[in-house]
Structure 1
Amino acid sequence: MKRSEHTHQTDVVLKYADPYLNKAVYLHTDLKSYAVGSIALDSIKKALESLGKAIGCARASTGWETR
């Protein structure tokens, strides 16, 4: 297999422990696709808190554990 010299730049990399896959998942984000006004600390904080709560609930769920 020929190795590509092309790389894909990323602005943000988030890592979280996925309770369904039982492994670390990395989210790569290129912020150029967002408008300047759409990126605010408060909205990012709320989105990350929501993701954290969803992961916490899934870890505590016996229904998801059996799946």
Structure 2
Amino acid sequence: MTWPPNTWKNRFSLDIKGIPYKTVWVESPDIEPLCKKIGATAAEERRDGTPLYTLPFIHDPNTGAIVS
């Protein structure tokens, strides 16, 4: 499902700037495990203090940089 509009805004911006990228489709239950696997930080915290991992995030495999 492609409902988060921020994901599309990021892809559109990368397209306009001519920056090559690869889209990886992630199901909702797999977002947190994937973020943890690549080392992305949580975007925010839930009310109970647990981390909340969200999309989109950008991972540059060449430099290891992650923007979430």
Q: What interval of TM-score do these two structures reach, taking the shorter chain for normalisation?
A: under 0.3
Q: TM-score, normalised by structure 1?
A: 0.21
Structure number with higher helix proportion: 1
The structure with more strand, counted as a fraction of residues: 1
Structure label with greater radius of gyration: 1
